[in-house]
């Protein structure tokens, strides 16, 4: 079956994955999407278009224009000048208006006069908030040295504070969710194999085959990336999707491999061994650019089709079919590197296998392959690096995880804080991250927080982490502030190559009578002054910071405004850059790890349990959009997917109210509804991340749906990178007071 889809049809099927599937059982099991009507936005007559905005409902940062009337934003649209997202925004991007005007948003600095976790808030002035933050943080640095502080940042506005605390104050304990709970193991594995981080740089519009392993594009929505994918399908690319679940992408696949979770590396090794044995790999590319190929072939020769079929619980002939389809269309194949790669704690090996497969097929620097475009150069505006003697801290990290992504593994920070060894961590700064819902083992995170002398949280919404702050700082949101520039290249290289530069500028005034929100540059500068670091301040304001970055590209905010918010310039031909492929990596061997990609088995579900797996919904961003009323109305609770045969044996029905309890007896604090479907393996239970806030101040989101993270109490730390595998947790179903075993 060749898939040809119009954009509308694709987006329909993206939100309702099984709609187009010729499987009677599947179609029966699907629940129609329930749409509740919401108030029509009214007329846009009399609005003024403001260009130059950049979305941050997720981190793809699409370029916006806003329709503004009487100083109020009434609608967001894609900037038609964009050569990235174009005039399109996703549902979440559109709903940014509702974040801006969410009545639950943080408005004033607040002090917790109750307990951490059970706060009683008292409104305080910025003066008081900053004085207290500065003196408490300074006291910790004086007593415990800079490594006595830890920062958990995420997002554009967190860069400035992160650099301040790392470069100037000197703490090495900095853990970004985007690395340690997301893409860290992918990027490091690609660096160790191809010498460059992966990005999601595959030329899907020009591919003959698109190969995706647990990447559920369509539910995972990044507008320009989705457009690339769609263009590839429209151009006739064949699609291979490896996923234990019938995802939005599996619904469009020519081959859907319903793999047993955690076994993907065995699958990839068997494909590569078959290609080598059958001499179906790109010998010329391997000869010219491969290193350690001999050892590699020996190291994977045990990986027969039957061996992998047995481990992965799929037919051997399907593995052969996949390998043949890749070889027959090489080198014009997109081996998608994935994005969220923290799965089971054997993730570095899987990502390295993906990179080796890319090299084996010669799918590098060619149409349809792994192609890294050159981004335009811009200037820098960062805190200067001030020398700090924290070698012992760094040594601790280097010894434990030699292939760690930038920053410090979250678990290492928690462990260090809880044991006080090799040093005490007594101050915590959280900026744009919600560790209670995004770091495995939330109870351990709470313990770490409890032993802190001081906790400051800067956020826009009262999400769960804010309940643990001593001082809570309200930041202006992405529609009210200047911050970092967005740069990139055109996504579809069938056009003349182009690059773009845009900057985030406010769509509406950041000040209003009903609140006192400030941007991160202002907040951090005020802190820096009070902590005695004034001389290092790199920019007086967020606006000045943006001007400095733009000046590096001979641009200015005025110039950008004159160019409708986006500067476009000729790009560099992205094809032709080839990368060496390290099939047998010496550095890994020297550090005591296998040089050749290796399958490491992961724990199996105990009898009566299924593996808990989670992913994205098109209408939510991580957990940050839970309280957004438009998005909430699209999907008020997260359906819990269960196999239809399992459901029928347990007497469960679609729409049943259920809960989950995990292997350690931890039950989710709030319940959700069951989705009975043939589109999931019997040994897996799946739900979407980003529900079930416990903060009563989130009037839309509190208690709505089930929080996947509450059940992720067992973490699997990737031995090479220190990133956090989160899918080695196992659950049973709770209906009423009865706990139901999952039949084997
Ligand atoms: N709408 C929306 N889009 C987003 C985001 C968002 O919050 N909302 N977040 C963005 C971010 S930061 C990220 S990192 C990405 C995340 O999106 P992706 O990187 O695409 O996906 P994951 O969340 O890792 O994976 C979910 C898929 O993996 C499958 N899966 C689970 N276990 C296994 C396994 O062992 N093997 C295989 N082969 N598949 C498995 C699941 O069934 C599911 O379909 O999405 C991005 N896009
Ligand atoms: N259980 C589980 N854990 C996960 C994942 C999962 O699927 N399941 N996914 C992982 C992945 S791929 C990722 S990328 C991470 C994401 O992890 P996080 O970064 O923790 O998640 P977000 O939902 O982006 O929200 C973080 C916080 O930022 C706040 N925020 C939003 N905008 C702003 C702003 O402008 N300024 C400030 N100061 N704060 C703001 C939000 O209100 C929220 O409290 O989670 C990872 N952890
Ligand atoms: S993909 Fe959607 S949420 Fe993410 S930046 Fe683009 S419009 Fe915003
Ligand atoms: Mo992510």
Is residue 277 located within the same domain as residue 293? Answer: yes
Cβ of 93 less than 6 Å from ligand 3: yes
Under 8 Å between Cβ of 220 and 389: no
Atom of ligand 3 nearest to the CA of 92: 3
pLDDT tens-place string over residues 257-279: 999 999 999 999 999 999 999 99
Cβ of 130 less than 6 Å from ligand 3: no
Atom of ligand 2 nearest to the CA of 712: 1
Cβ of 226 less than 6 Å from ligand 1: no
Task: Give, for ligand 1, the residue of 94, 217, 243 to mutate: max count of ligand atoms closer than 8 Å to Cβ.
Answer: 243
Is 162 a domain residue?
A: yes
Burial 469-502 (b: 16+ CB within 10 A, else e): bbbbbbbbbbbbbbbbbbbbbbbebeeeebbbbb
Nearest Cα to Cα of residue 464 among 633, 641, 670 = 670
Q: Compute, in angstroms, the gap from residue 414 CA to the centroid of ligand 2.
A: 18
> CB-hemisphere CA count at 13 Å for 324?
8
Q: Compute, in angstroms, the gap from residue 139 CA to the centroid of ligand 4.
A: 34
CA distances from 480 to 56, 476, 506, 523 (A): 12, 6, 4, 15
Nearest Cα to Cα of residue 282 among 332, 213, 211 = 332
Is residue 549 located within the same domain as residue 616? Answer: no
Is residue 390 located within the same domain as residue 520? Answer: yes
Task: Give, for ligand 1, the residue of 213, 214, 322 to mutate: max count of ligand atoms closer than 8 Å to Cβ.
Answer: 214
Q: Compute, in angstroms, the gap from residue 549 CA to the centroid of ligand 3.
A: 23
Q: Compute, in angstroms, the gap from residue 91 CA to the centroid of ligand 3.
A: 8
Under 8 Å between Cβ of 101 and 517: no
Is 579 a domain residue?
A: no
pLDDT at 44: 77
**Pairing state between β 72-78 and 63-69:** antiparallel
Residue 482's contacts (CB-CB under 8 Å, 6 or more residues apart) are 503, 504, 505, 506, 519, 541, 542, 543, 545, 546
Cβ of 469 less than 6 Å from ligand 2: no
Is residue 129 located within the same domain as residue 208? Answer: no
pLDDT at 494: 82
Residues comprising the chain, all counted: 744
Instruction: Determine which residue's CA is closest to atom 41 belonging to ligand 2.
Output: 624
Residue 307, H or E segment: helix 305-312
Is 594 a domain residue?
A: no
Is residue 332 located within the same domain as residue 204? Answer: yes
Q: How far apart are CA 97 and CA 75, in angstroms?
A: 7
Q: Compute, in angstroms, the gap from residue 525 CA to the centroid of ligand 1.
A: 37
Task: Give, for ligand 3, the residue of 222, 226, 339, 484 to mutate: max count of ligand atoms closer than 8 Å to Cβ.
Answer: 222
The helix/strand/coil state of 233 is helix
Paired strand residues for 51: 65
Atom of ligand 3 nearest to the CA of 78: 7
Cβ of 441 less than 6 Å from ligand 2: no
Is 674 a domain residue?
A: yes
Is residue 341 located within the same domain as residue 214? Answer: yes
pLDDT at 387: 72
Atom of ligand 2 nearest to the CA of 461: 42
Is residue 75 located within the same domain as residue 96? Answer: yes
The helix/strand/coil state of 224 is helix
Q: Compute, in angstroms, the gap from residue 58 CA to the centroid of ligand 4.
A: 9
CATH number for the domain harbouring residue 528: 3.40.50.740
Ligand in closest contact with the CA of 212: 1
CATH number for the domain harbouring residue 255: 3.40.228.10
Q: Compute, in angstroms, the gap from residue 99 CA to the centroid of ligand 3.
A: 14
pLDDT at 492: 87
Q: Which of 486, 520, 553 is the last residue of a domain?
A: 553
Ligand in closest contact with the CA of 217: 1
Cβ of 222 less than 6 Å from ligand 1: yes
Overall domain count for the chain = 4
Nearest Cα to Cα of residue 226 among 242, 213, 210 = 210
Cβ of 434 less than 6 Å from ligand 2: yes
CA 147 remoteness from chain centre: 27
Cβ of 60 less than 6 Å from ligand 3: yes
Ligand in closest contact with the CA of 60: 3
Q: Compute, in angstroms, the gap from residue 180 CA to the centroid of ligand 4.
A: 9
pLDDT at 47: 85
Instruction: Determine which residue's CA is closest to atom 29 belonging to ligand 2.
Output: 432
Cβ of 463 less than 6 Å from ligand 2: yes
CA 676 remoteness from chain centre: 27
pLDDT at 395: 62
Burial 99-118 (b: 16+ CB within 10 A, else e): bbebebbbebbbbbeeeeee
The helix/strand/coil state of 338 is coil
Is 369 a domain residue?
A: no
Q: How far apart are CA 456 and CA 473, in angstroms?
A: 8
CATH number for the domain harbouring residue 97: 2.20.25.90
pLDDT at 394: 57
Residues of the chain with pLDDT under 50: 1-40
Q: What domain range includes position 53?
A: 46-104+478-510+554-573
Cβ of 149 less than 6 Å from ligand 3: no
Is 586 a domain residue?
A: no
Is 525 a domain residue?
A: yes
Cβ of 432 less than 6 Å from ligand 2: yes
Is residue 483 located within the same domain as residue 524? Answer: no
Handedness of CA 725, 216, 618, 640 (dihedral sign): negative
Cβ of 228 less than 6 Å from ligand 2: no
CATH number for the domain harbouring residue 693: 2.40.40.20
pLDDT at 639: 98
Cβ of 314 less than 6 Å from ligand 1: no
Handedness of CA 432, 436, 439, 445 (dihedral sign): positive
Q: Compute, in angstroms, the gap from residue 68 CA to the centroid of ligand 4.
A: 31
Q: How far apart are CA 81 and CA 172, in angstroms?
A: 41
Handedness of CA 268, 271, 274, 279 (dihedral sign): negative
Give yes or no for a cis peptide into 267 (omega within 30° of 0).
Answer: no
pLDDT at 11: 38
Is residue 562 located within the same domain as residue 678? Answer: no
Task: Give, for ligand 3, the residue of 56, 62, 217, 225 to mutate: max count of ligand atoms closer than 8 Å to Cβ.
Answer: 62
Q: Which alpha helices (DSSP H) does 386-537 contain, by range?
A: 391-400, 410-419, 435-438, 442-450, 520-531
Under 8 Å between Cβ of 197 and 187: yes
Is 685 a domain residue?
A: yes
> What beta strand segments (E) does 471-584 contain?
471-474, 483-489, 498-504, 566-570, 581-582
pLDDT at 257: 98
Is residue 152 located within the same domain as residue 200? Answer: no
Is residue 684 located within the same domain as residue 620? Answer: yes
Q: How far apart are CA 293 and CA 362, in angstroms?
A: 14
Q: How far apart are CA 479 and CA 100, in angstroms?
A: 7
> CB-hemisphere CA count at 13 Å for 448?
28
**Pairing state between β 716-717 and 724-725:** antiparallel
Atom of ligand 1 nearest to the CA of 222: 47
What percentage of the chain's residues is helix, strand, coil (to nearest 5)? 35, 20, 45
Q: Compute, in angstroms, the gap from residue 469 CA to the centroid of ligand 4.
A: 24
Q: Compute, in angstroms, the gap from residue 330 CA to the centroid of ligand 4.
A: 29
Atom of ligand 1 nearest to the CA of 257: 38
Q: Compute, in angstroms, the gap from residue 187 CA to the centroid of ligand 1.
A: 16
The helix/strand/coil state of 433 is coil
pLDDT at 393: 59
Give one word for 236, left, alpha or beta, with left for phi > 0 and alpha for psi -120 to 50.
left
Cβ of 157 less than 6 Å from ligand 2: yes
Is residue 354 located within the same domain as residue 228? Answer: yes
């Amino acid at each position: 079956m060749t898939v040809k889809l119009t954009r509308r049809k694709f987006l329909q099927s993206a939100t309702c994955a099984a709609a187009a599937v010729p499987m009677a059982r599947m179609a029966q099991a699907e629940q129609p999407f329930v749409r509740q009507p919401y108030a029509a936005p009214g007329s846009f007559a009399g609005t003024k278009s403001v260009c130059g905005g950049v979305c941050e409902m997720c981190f793809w940062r699409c370029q916006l224009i806003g329709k503004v009337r009487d100083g109020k934003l009434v609608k967001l649209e894609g900037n038609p000048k964009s050569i990235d997202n174009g005039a399109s925004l996703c549902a979440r991007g559109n709903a940014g208006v509702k974040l801006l005007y969410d009545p639950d948003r943080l408005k004033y600095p607040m002090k917790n006069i109750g307990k951490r976790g059970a706060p009683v808030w008292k409104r305080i002035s910025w003066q008081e908030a900053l004085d207290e933050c500065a003196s408490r943080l300074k006291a910790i640095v004086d007593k415990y040295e800079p490594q006595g502080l830890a920062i958990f940042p995420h997002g554009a506005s967190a860069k400035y504070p992160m650099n301040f605390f790392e470069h100037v104050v000197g703490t090495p304990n900095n853990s970004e969710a985007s690395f340690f709970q997301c893409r860290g193991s992918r990027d490091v594995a690609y660096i160790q194999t191809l010498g460059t981080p992966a990005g999601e740089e595959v030329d899907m519009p020009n591919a003959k085959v698109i190969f995706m392993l647990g990447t559920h594009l369509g539910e995972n929505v990044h507008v320009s990336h989705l457009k690339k994918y769609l263009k590839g399908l429209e151009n006739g690319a064949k699609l291979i999707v490896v996923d234990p679940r019938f995802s939005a992408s599996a619904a469009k696949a020519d081959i859907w491999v319903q793999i047993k979770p955690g076994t993907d590396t065995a699958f990839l090794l068997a494909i590569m061994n078959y290609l080598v044995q059958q001499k179906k790999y790109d010998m010329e590319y391997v000869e010219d650019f491969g290193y350690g190929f001999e050892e590699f072939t020996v190291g994977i020769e045990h990986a027969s089709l039957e061996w992998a079929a047995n481990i992965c619980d799929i037919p051997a002939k399907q593995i052969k079919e996949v390998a043949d389809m890749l070889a027959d269309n090489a080198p014009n194949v997109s081996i998608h590197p994935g994005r969220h790669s923290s799965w089971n704690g054997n993730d570095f090996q899987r990502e390295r296998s993906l990179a080796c497969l890319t090299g084996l097929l010669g799918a590098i620097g060619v149409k349809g392959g792994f192609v890294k475009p050159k981004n335009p150069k811009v200037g820098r505006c960062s805190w200067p690096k001030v020398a700090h003697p924290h070698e012992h801290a760094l040594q601790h990290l280097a010894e434990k995880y030699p292939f760690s992504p930038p920053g410090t593994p979250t678990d290492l920070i928690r462990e260090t804080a809880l044991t006080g060894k090799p040093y005490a961590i007594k101050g915590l700064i959280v900026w744009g991250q919600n560790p209670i819902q995004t770091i495995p083992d939330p109870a351990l995170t709470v313990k770490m927080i409890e032993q802190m002398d001081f906790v400051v949280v800067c956020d826009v919404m009262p999400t769960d982490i804010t309940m643990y702050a001593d001082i809570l700082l309200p930041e202006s949101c992405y529609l009210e502030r200047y911050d970092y520039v967005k740069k990139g290249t055109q996504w579809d290289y069938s056009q003349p190559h182009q690059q773009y530069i845009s900057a985030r500028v406010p769509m509406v005034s950041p000040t209003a009578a009903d609140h006192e929100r400030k941007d991160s540059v202002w907040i951090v500068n005020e802190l820096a002054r009070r902590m005695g670091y004034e001389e290092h301040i790199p920019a007086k304001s967020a606006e000045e910071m943006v001007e400095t970055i733009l000046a590096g590209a001979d641009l200015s905010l005025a110039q950008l405004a004159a160019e409708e918010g986006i500067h476009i310039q000729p790009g560099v031909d992205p094809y032709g850059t080839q990368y060496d492929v390290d099939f047998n990596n010496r550095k890994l061997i020297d550090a005591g790890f296998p040089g050749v990609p290796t399958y490491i088995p992961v724990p199996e579900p105990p009898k009566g349990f299924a593996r808990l797996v989670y992913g994205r919904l098109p209408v939510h961003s991580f957990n940050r959009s839970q309280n957004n009323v438009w998005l909430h109305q699209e999907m008020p609770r997260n359906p819990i997917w269960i196999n239809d045969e399992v459901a029928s044996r347990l007497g469960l029905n679609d729409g049943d109210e259920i809960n989950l309890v995990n292997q350690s007896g931890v039950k989710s604090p709030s319940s959700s509804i069951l989705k009975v479907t043939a589109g999931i393996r019997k040994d897996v239970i799946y739900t979407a991340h980003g529900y079930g806030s416990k903060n009563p101040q989130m009037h839309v989101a509190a208690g709505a749906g089930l929080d996947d993270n509450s059940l992720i109490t067992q973490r699997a730390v990737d031995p090479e990178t220190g990133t956090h595998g989160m899918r080695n947790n196992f659950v049973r179903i709770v209906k009423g007071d009865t706990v139901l075993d999952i039949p084997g």
